[in-house]
Amino acid sequence: MSTAPKNLKLESLCIHGGQSPEPITGAVMPPVFQTSTYAQPGVARHTGYEYSRTQNPTREKLEAAVASLEGATDGVAFGSGSAATAAIQHLLDAGDTVVCGDDVYGGTYRQFTKVFSRQGLNYEFVDFTRVAPEDAIGEGTKLVWLESPTNPLLKVSDIRALAARAHAVGAIVAVDNTFASPFFQQPLSMGADLVVHSTTKYINGHSDVVGGILATRDADLAARLRFIQNSIGAVPGVWDCWLTLRGIKTLAVRMQRHQENATKVVDWLIAQPGVTRVWYPMHPSHPQYELARSQMTGFGGMVSFEIDGDLAAAERFCEATRVFTLAESLGGVESLIELPAAMTHASIPPDVRREIGIADGLVRVSVGIEHVDDLIADLGQALKVALG
């Protein structure tokens, strides 16, 4: 069977990366191995597969595909992005210190402060856009966790500088690359040790799967994470793996359309008197615009903005859209809208949200691939409902 040549462009890797036709039948798409166990020809002698929590051919194809997109040697898949996040925390010991960006997904903040802090891990939250790496990452730090761009304020961190400082003190660097996707950013090439994805989002792209994955070039880290994957058992089901593999095939064309639509939506939002501020990393108005351009080749459909009103006005706005669906999550082909203070980041205490900059009027949209005129018209009529 043919295998993909080396040095393919990302558009081609989305179709062929980590995959080849199934060797027995020639099936172009990897089959779904819907099995829990595998027959063994003798006691403790198997073909490389013994139990599907440990190994499954469909899951392995997904892991290889995402690894190829991130320029990694290994991918380790999990049942959700949160499970992938937790697996990294399991690399640590009680008493270890984690330095984390101050603006992260609410579920990540909850996991760190309500679960793993009770197991003896110490979390320090730092604004990486304001504090120099040497001041943010102290001696003895074991893990540096960052989202870039962040959720929901879309801050861009200097991955190269943070990775250099982290490695100088012996820390591992994990970058949540969910918002940018491997199509627009590859953190491993900038010094990160691990890349984290909620495959629920852009990698799958169709709002019908929950999953997560880690990618790395470090063989030791990969082996330790596979041990955790098998021991904890938070693995994705094979149908979720298969659906995600199918979604990856169109990642390139989807991300290009997401970006095209988002750019036009951002230009429109900036011109609206009812909108006080807009965040989009690839727009010149973004405070880390030049850094974003140096780290990313583009950006997808994530846009955050504040409307000129209180929480009630923001709620009216979100509830008035008709093309944008009011829902959590992101990265699907359909456009979604949500209110972080009351939804995705409600688990963060209000005083902490205010300190970070998550205002009650902050709205986050995931711009889909519909016709952009319909999206802009929908936001326009919602603004009239919200602000009169």
Residues tagged active-site: 53, 105, 176, 201
DSSP 315-348: HHHHHH-SSSEE-S---SSS-EEE-TTTTTTTTS
DSSP reduced 3-state for 51: strand
Place of tokens 């166990």: 37
Longest dimension (CA), the chain: 75
Structure tokens at 117: 């802090």
Angle of helix 372-387 versus helix 251-270 axis, rounded to 10: 40
Rounded distance between C-alpha atoms, residue 130 and residue 34, angstroms: 49
User: What is the bridge-based pairing of β-strands 141-147 and 97-101?
Assistant: parallel
| R_g over Cα of the chain | 21
Rounded distance between C-alpha atoms, residue 286 and residue 116, angstroms: 33
Count of Cβ atoms closer than 10 Å to residue 342 Cβ: 13
Q: Among 147, 152, 129, 130, which residue's Cα sits nearest to residue 361?
A: 152
Query: CB-based burial of residue 49 (10 Å sphere; 0-12 exposed, 13-18 middle, 19+ buried)?
Result: middle
In this structure, which long-range contacts are made by residues 344-352, counting pairs with CB atoms below 8 Å and at least 24 apart in sequence? Answer: 344/105, 344/106, 344/107, 344/151, 344/152, 345/105, 345/106, 345/109, 345/152, 346/106, 347/106, 347/107, 347/109, 347/110, 347/114, 348/106, 348/109, 348/110
Number of H helices, E strands in the chain: 14, 12
Angle of helix 81-89 versus helix 219-232 axis, rounded to 10: 110
How many residues are present in the chain? 388
Structure tokens at 345: 């980041």
Q: Among 88, 53, 54, 32, which residue's Cα sits nearest to residue 213?
A: 88
Q: For 160, list phi and psi in degrees, rounded to 5.
A: -60, -50
